[in-house]
Structure 1
Amino acid sequence: MSFPLYPDTGIPHRSSIHEEWLMMRVCSFRIALAASLLYLPAATRLAGQTGTIEGKVTSLTTGEPVIGAEVSLVGINIGTRTGPGGTFSLLNVPVGPRELRVLAIGFKVATAHLVVLPDQTTTTTLQLAPSVLQLDAIVVTGTPGQARVREVGNSIAQVNLSQVKDPPASMDQLLQARAPGLSVMQTSGMAGEGAQIRLRGAVSVSQSNQPIIYVDGVRVRSEGYRRNRPPFNDSNGFRGGNYQASPLNDINPADVDRVEIIKGAAASTLYGTEAAAGVIQIFTKHGLAGVPRWTFEVGQGFSQLRPFGTDSVPYLNLRPAGQVHGLCHETPVTGCSWIRNAYRQHYSGSVAGGSAGPNGLQYFLSATSEDNDGVLPLDNEKKLSTRGNVGITLSDNLRVEWNTAYSNTDLSNTPAGNNAHGLVLNVYRAERNYRSSSDPAVIDSLLNQSLTTGIQRLITGATVTYTPFAGFSNRFTLGYDLAQQQNHNLRPTGFVAAPQGILVDEQLRYSLLTADYVGSMDLRFTPQLTSTLSIGGQAVTSEEGRATAYGEGFPVPIVSAARVQLAGDTSLRVINAGFFVQSVFKFRDRYFLTGGARFDGNSAFGRSLGLQVYPKISGSYVISDEPFWPASWGEVKLRGALG
């Protein structure tokens, strides 16, 4: 290659050098561009390639498969649960090195480092070591976001349905004896009767002592439905229909994945004044990535009343089932029984499935039908419930979950309690009753009346989780709980104790609107000292309306046709709102200190809401993680809370 020279110098011309440099640069750019274009399709194919991870989770000590363990990939929104046999499958996993995390109640957390190859299946087997304290289990209740048990200074109990061997018939039975300090008291044996739940005994003389209940982050009604009884001030307590349906039993226990129960200082700080009696949070099942999994269940059985009454008057003269003279309602003769063995049956089915990876959708759908008799002659409960849970991963840092449940319950009950027109009081008093006769045929005439309740309930809610960058998460939940109840109490014209006839119709409407936000940020001061700062707020609007119509003396069973009429209506609207701030300091992953405060207000105090401050402080020390602690001594966690 030659260059023009300056005259008499032998030095190349400057402009020639510049032109040649430009030519070389253009050539270099073209070569680089061509190489990039050749590489681009390969890079695109690599970025879009995925693989599959399959495996099995077993117990280290027994070798038995662990069912219901949470299997997830650290850093991305892909996860599932182990099915029958402890097996799992993760589909559409981006290629490259991945960290697999497995967590199950009753076991220590286990991890595995795998390399996912394009269009190939990577297999692994993980063994979980037993853990009594479950220090690495993830909890939500009592914490602003997700937290490990080791970090929490409050008492939190977990109930995992995968470890419950006998399927419970109701949520009341599911919670019975599942956590220390949890008392579930059945109030009667009538069909549809709910139980009273106490976590901390009686904590208030003015507010409810029933713990508040959340379902998938949505606040739902926890107080029992109104009793079906006449609308008079003296009809409280045990007068009228002595049963009270429980909203908790509108939830099908077969749809529940786990339950978290908290009592103590954290309850009021994070959930407000109404949480002084404790919090029960129910998490229902969600879909799993993979082929649809169908489940069907058929249950048949009967309920039998345990002995009650006194030695001199066993069963209050009602006599248990199995008497030689049969049932009084069918054959009213001397020596017959008013108590029967109550037949129960239920049929349920569900399907779960979905896809993994970006834009993945998981679903869980279920339906249940129940038909349960009660131990008294007219007792019956028919229930139909459905549920649909859908989760969508819109991107690696954005996920939306929508959960909806509907139930329809029809109750028929025997008039009981301290009721002059009822069965139990007149049987117990025998010849001294309101019919002046112990003849079963005379007493059976009191059952010529109708005492029915219909309840329709809808619970729906959506949760959006957004993590703009690692260490900063935001969760917003909006939910609505609507229940409509209709009480119908009819003693027809010619009824032996009220020949003129009595009719009561009552319409009730309950609703709860919940809005909840929580934001959490992880802070790192030193490699051994970190902190999680959380802020959030909740607003709960509760509304209750009741309209009652009462009539006596009617040619047809319609209140408007009655000779004597009485009507009334009431309504109540309460708003409870507050916000909180909390910080958790973590040192060496075994020393934890939590401090927080909540500012809570209630519309009962007027426009100012009467803001009150609820502070708390708690600490946790996992002493078994210290180097001096012998492994043979097991796991020990010291904790304390004040609030």
Structure 2
Amino acid sequence: MQSFRRLLSAGCLALVAAAPVGAESTPMQEVVTGIVVSARTGQPLAGAQVAVEGTGQGVATNSSGRFLITGISGATVTLRVVLIGYREYTEVYQAGDATIQIELEETAIDLDAIVVTGTAGGSQTRAIGTTIAQLDMTEALQAGQSGTFQEMLNSNVSGLNMASGPGNVGTGGAMKIRGIGSVTLGSGPLVYVDGVRIDNNSNARIGSDQGNGTMRGGSVSRLNDLNPEEIQSVEVIKGPAAATLYGTEASAGVIQITTKRGTVGAPQWEFTVRQGVSYLSNAVDRWPAVYDKGTNPCPNCEILSSGVRKFEVLKSEQALGHGIPFTYGHDQTYGISSRGGTDLLRYYFSAQVDRDEGFVEWNHQNKYSARANLEITPNEQLSISTNMGFLRSKSRFNGGGPFPIEFVSSIYWGTPAAAEDERRRGWNWTPPWAMETVDVTEGIDRIIASGTVRHNPFPWLVHRVTGGADFGSAVSGRMVPRSPLGSADFFGAMSLGHVETTERSVTQANVDYGATATFDLPFLGTTSETSVGAQYYVKKTHEFGAVGDQFPAPGPGTVSSAAVKTGWEDFIENKTFGLYVQEQLSWNNRLFATVAFRGDDNSAFGENFDFILYPKVSGSWVLSEESFFNLSLVNNLKLRAAWGRAGRQPDVFAARRLYAPITAGGDQPGLTTDAVGNPDLKPEVGEELEVGFDASLLDDRIGIGFTVYNKDTRDAIIARPVSPSSGFAGTQFVNVGQLNNRGIEIEASATLVRSGSVDWDIGFNYATNNSEVVDLGGLPTIFLFGQRHQEGLPVGAVFVENVVSAEFDANGNIVNDQCEATPEQGGGMVPCSMAQPVYRGPSVPTWYGGVNTSVRFLQNFRVFALVDFSGGYTKISGDLAASHLLFQNSQQILEREDAQLAAMSEIVGNWLQAGVLKGGLAKLRELSLSYTLSDEIASLAGSDGGSLTISARNLFNLWEAQSGTFGRREIDVELTRQWNASREGGVYHQTSMPPATTVAMTVRLNY
């Protein structure tokens, strides 16, 4: 192992040595080296930024807390140490000192942390008038957290809510920050990686399905292409008041991701190995039984006293000796990273291989990722950094597409009518052995590259230029081989052979320039910080696909071999150019006032609308640093407030008049009207007022952050029916609507026990969000599937008839049936024969959050647990509704013993009403035990240090608002329809696989 270590180190030192390091006559310079530890626990602290004041020199501590700074001139050196969650540290040391031990004291809130705000110089937390959430990804991983990037972000940031993805390896969910901000556009935030805006599509199709892939097995989120192991930190900018400088498309918030950087010193190596298992808990009993009154032979049916038959296909398979299709998937990770360098050149390299398997044998994902980050500092005034990340993945899903390419439904709707069919054995539509023959796949190739040149020509001026691009290609497909049985097989006409393939290439590129000038003004300790900048952004999407049907021979096939072929192609381009200016005044580094403007032009704006201006005003006051402040229990107190605007651009072609190609008479090409367009179309504008405070109490044992926000979406884009006299059909997009989102956010942390042997910390975040459709511009209520956009009610309000009560008379007839009346009917109750859909609640959670706790004991052991929760909304389970009223194969509907359910079926008639549930749950999301290797154990592997972590995810529900209706339980109450642009907060869900439970062991070794 030692020889291997020397070989790796020699290779990296050779790389560094190859860089120019100056003339040979450079005089001998001193070094300082040491370790940074926690003042409370003595544990080494990784990722602390150690800088030499007055110079551009600085490094980050390695995983063992050590640092090395070379090129020190002079007899003494002033070191400044900064780490999220700890007090800033400044001290003078002798040059050449190799025994430095820096002890950092923990702080509940960090007022001096530098956050990315869109300007060239960044800003300290104390100067910002809005809340910006920070997540130290390195610390989160060391604490034992696991999962995809989305999963790690969710529950750690207040105000951020993610629709849970299904148990389909390779899928994800859509994210929202502070609610639904648009009726026709998406509500996903902008995402930047190292200054480059990336593709964050969270509703990508599965299996090239051009229908709604979100109901057929889940959607794919491009955010989960990111490797958490490569990420240093994440900052979440939550709303228009904070995101003004990001301009158009930033009204839904911004996520800033910073990847890991190199350090000065010898190469530091980290090896990571993860071995785990993925499985479906309670795999057999979670599926409700199917009932009927059939008379065909059914050997594994149970005949109830009422004469109704009960059938469970999985238990039937077990009784027949076939077993069940669920298995234990093997999850694996193998990673390596190295960081090091000199004062001139610093580097970070990493490579990782992941293989994750689902709980059915044909669901898996192979992922290969690599990163190379370089930073060159020729002198104290100039730094040049380059960052490049590469990803290649291939996923095969356990379903995706129209019926019958659906696995969950085959279990859920298992039928006793086919129990004796030797081919189906009671499975509905598609049995698992047929699903195994269908390939539903996605392949990803992606490169995210950026470069930044930062220049400090004068002590008062810093400017930088950042440029880069996200190059992504996704190839998705679905292939059904030709069966010897032809269309008589399980997939109908598709069993004659069917193949679809779609390639979606997305290139996003931006160039940003920013400059910040700082001056001390000659009165009252005032400092002026003036920032200006410009940004150019372009996004190009090229999508094409082909469909082939009817292969010439049994087995798989291609589009070219199919007898019937069709194809399509789309190309979309969008460009934005923006300018900003910001002025920030500070008094004694305690009181801050900021005014900013951002102006944008975007190619999607209508021809008659050229430019939009977004203003911002904010202020903050560190009250605890004032001389008159004398509350001994309060260590830090910062008050903050902000008002600002940011935008959301229209869809690329929404403003354009479009014509569609057709085949005219004589097979000649022609055109027909398609979309009328709107030359006056402009962006939606998010306007937000935010007020709050941050405080630390009781010797920094307690930290609290509190925020109240009120966000209006003005000029909301609504689809208006087109007059037939225009010669165009369909709708026209117009800026006539207004939406409102309001709520509170609380973030709190506390150290419950602080001793030499045990430390116990707890964290809590909680947020509320209440939306309202304020104005539809005189347009009628917008009706969707089970929901409406109606003035005065939440966005996507659930509307279904509500049977309040009913009874049976002696002859079994329904009597005394009462249904909730609409306001137009005068409210109260009406006979159910007069029932109309009524408001049943909001369709997305109105409150959500998480609780985490960490207990460190015996110096080297740490237990971590995370519970997340959400509630306060209404959803419609298509599974339950269809079972009761559409297919009528539930016990309750067949035995006809519940008068309320019978009234729904026999009087009202709308089958969706039987699936209405209260949405809400609390789940033990993560539990882990970590052991930091002692020096003695680490030395056995020739290592400088490391850790061993055993973690589990998606363990069990602690609380459920409602688990089912009329005695029939959902397969998983966490499942809900994904939020997408066309149906925000959609409430209907069906045929999604439950989330998997995962257990893994991760070993990290440092060299």
Q: Say whether the fold is shared (TM-score over 0.5).
A: yes
User: Displacement, 1:225?
Assistant: 6.1
Q: Give ranges in structure 1 of 5+ residues lacking alignment.
A: 1-43, 317-324
Task: Tell whether 2:121 aligns with 1:145.
Answer: yes
Task: Tell whether 2:483 aligns with 1:486.
Answer: no
Question: How far does the alpha carbon of each residue in 1:202-245 deviate from its partner, in whole angstroms, 9 at most, with x for none?
Answer: 1122332111111111111111363134665xx22446x53322
Q: 1:255 — aligned with what?
A: 230
Task: Tell whether 2:245 aligns with 1:270.
Answer: yes
Q: 1:455 — aligned with what?
A: 444
CA RMSD of aligned residues (A): 3.0
Q: 2:106 — aligned with what?
A: 130
Question: How far does the alpha carbon of each residue in 1:321-375 deviate from its partner, in whole angstroms, 9 at most, with x for none?
Answer: xxxx9999x999468333333221110001111001xxx1001110000111112
Off by >6 Å, runs of 4+ in structure 1: 44-47, 307-312, 325-328, 432-436
**Separation in 2 of the partners of 1:450 and 1:640?**
53
Task: Tell whether 2:282 aligns with 1:298.
Answer: no
Contact in 2 for aligned 1:308/1:314 (Cα 8 Å): no
Task: Tell whether 2:263 aligns with 1:288.
Answer: yes
Q: 1:74 — aligned with what?
A: 53
User: Displacement, 1:197?
Assistant: 1.6
**Separation in 2 of the partners of 1:354 and 1:230?**
45
Q: In the alignment, residue 177 of structure 1 is paired with which amino acid?
A: S
**Separation in 2 of the partners of 1:365 and 1:434?**
57
Q: In the alignment, residue 626 of structure 1 is paired with which amino acid?
A: E
Task: Tell whether 2:426 aligns with 1:439.
Answer: yes
Structure whose CA Rg is larger: 1
Greater alpha carbon shift after TM alignment, 374-383 vs 163-172: 163-172
Greater alpha carbon shift after TM alignment, 378-387 vs 196-205: 196-205
**Separation in 1 of the partners of 2:616 and 2:539?**
27
Task: Tell whether 2:182 aligns with 1:204.
Answer: yes
User: Displacement, 1:482?
Assistant: 0.7
Residues 250 and 45 (structure 1 numbering): CA distance in 2 closer, same or farther, change over 3 Å? closer
User: Displacement, 1:144?
Assistant: 4.8
Matches within 5 A, 1:417-566: 419-431=403-415, 437-439=424-426, 443-447=431-435, 448-494=437-483, 496=489, 497=491, 498-526=494-522, 528-555=525-552, 557-566=557-566
Contact in 1 for aligned 2:192/2:198 (Cα 8 Å): yes
**Separation in 1 of the partners of 2:56 and 2:269?**
24
Task: Tell whether 2:633 aligns with 1:632.
Answer: yes
Residues 126 and 444 (structure 1 numbering): CA distance in 2 closer, same or farther, change over 3 Å? closer
**Separation in 2 of the partners of 1:371 and 1:263?**
34
**Separation in 2 of the partners of 1:499 and 1:571?**
32
SS at structure 2 position matched to 1:68:
coil
Contact in 2 for aligned 1:144/1:270 (Cα 8 Å): no
Q: 1:392 — aligned with what?
A: 376
**Separation in 1 of the partners of 2:106 and 2:281?**
38
Q: 1:25 — aligned with what?
A: none
User: Displacement, 1:601?
Assistant: 1.8
Contact in 2 for aligned 1:425/1:433 (Cα 8 Å): no
**Separation in 2 of the partners of 1:72 and 1:344?**
40
SS at structure 2 position matched to 1:634:
strand
Q: 2:169 aligns with which of 177, 181, 191?
A: 191
Contact in 2 for aligned 1:256/1:283 (Cα 8 Å): yes
User: Displacement, 1:505?
Assistant: 1.5
Q: In the alignment, residue 154 of structure 1 is paired with which amino acid?
A: T
**Separation in 1 of the partners of 2:39 and 2:286?**
54
Contact in 2 for aligned 1:537/1:579 (Cα 8 Å): yes
Residues 130 and 142 (structure 1 numbering): CA distance in 2 closer, same or farther, change over 3 Å? farther
Question: How far does the alpha carbon of each residue in 1:288-325 deviate from its partner, in whole angstroms, 9 at most, with x for none?
Answer: 11100110010011223356999881799xxxxxxxx9
Greater alpha carbon shift after TM alignment, 468-477 vs 523-532: 523-532
Q: In the alignment, residue 534 of structure 2 is paired with which amino acid?
A: G
TM-score (normalised: structure 2): 0.55
Contact in 1 for aligned 2:174/2:203 (Cα 8 Å): no
User: Displacement, 1:84?
Assistant: 3.9
Question: How far does the alpha carbon of each residue in 1:422-450 deviate from its partner, in whole angstroms, 9 at most, with x for none?
Answer: 22222221128999845359723431211
Contact in 2 for aligned 1:621/1:639 (Cα 8 Å): yes
Q: 1:156 aligns with which of 124, 132, 140?
A: 132
User: Displacement, 1:141?
Assistant: 3.5
Contact in 2 for aligned 1:142/1:156 (Cα 8 Å): no
SS at structure 1 position matched to 2:245:
helix
Contact in 2 for aligned 1:255/1:284 (Cα 8 Å): yes
**Separation in 2 of the partners of 1:575 and 1:501?**
42
Task: Tell whether 2:32 aligns with 1:53.
Answer: yes
Task: Tell whether 2:353 aligns with 1:369.
Answer: yes
Q: In the alignment, residue 107 of structure 1 is paired with which amino acid?
A: Y
User: Displacement, 1:629?
Assistant: 2.7
Percent of paired sites with the same residue: 30
User: Displacement, 1:286?
Assistant: 0.8
Residues 314 and 56 (structure 1 numbering): CA distance in 2 closer, same or farther, change over 3 Å? farther
Q: In the alignment, residue 503 of structure 1 is paired with which amino acid?
A: V
**Separation in 1 of the partners of 2:287 and 2:358?**
25
Matches within 5 A, 1:614-625: 614-625=614-625
Q: Give ranges in structure 2 of 5+ residues lacking alignment.
A: 1-22, 292-311, 645-1007
Residues 460 and 225 (structure 1 numbering): CA distance in 2 closer, same or farther, change over 3 Å? farther
Contact in 2 for aligned 1:264/1:278 (Cα 8 Å): yes
Q: In the alignment, residue 558 of structure 1 is paired with which amino acid?
A: T
User: Displacement, 1:612?
Assistant: 0.8
Contact in 1 for aligned 2:351/2:370 (Cα 8 Å): yes
Contact in 2 for aligned 1:622/1:636 (Cα 8 Å): yes
SS at structure 2 position matched to 1:565:
strand
Greater alpha carbon shift after TM alignment, 481-490 vs 260-269: 260-269
Residues 452 and 271 (structure 1 numbering): CA distance in 2 closer, same or farther, change over 3 Å? same
Q: 1:379 aligns with which of 336, 356, 363?
A: 363
Q: 1:406 — aligned with what?
A: 390
**Separation in 2 of the partners of 1:307 and 1:199?**
33
Greater alpha carbon shift after TM alignment, 299-308 vs 340-349: 299-308
Greater alpha carbon shift after TM alignment, 612-621 vs 435-444: 435-444
User: Displacement, 1:122?
Assistant: 5.3
TM-score (normalised: structure 1): 0.84
**Separation in 2 of the partners of 1:333 and 1:484?**
45
SS at structure 1 position matched to 2:412:
helix
Contact in 1 for aligned 2:120/2:464 (Cα 8 Å): no
Contact in 2 for aligned 1:623/1:637 (Cα 8 Å): yes
Higher relative contact order (CA 8 A, sep 6+): 2
Q: 2:897 — aligned with what?
A: none
**Separation in 2 of the partners of 1:49 and 1:568?**
67
Greater alpha carbon shift after TM alignment, 69-78 vs 221-230: 221-230
**Separation in 2 of the partners of 1:142 and 1:224?**
24
Contact in 1 for aligned 2:49/2:83 (Cα 8 Å): yes
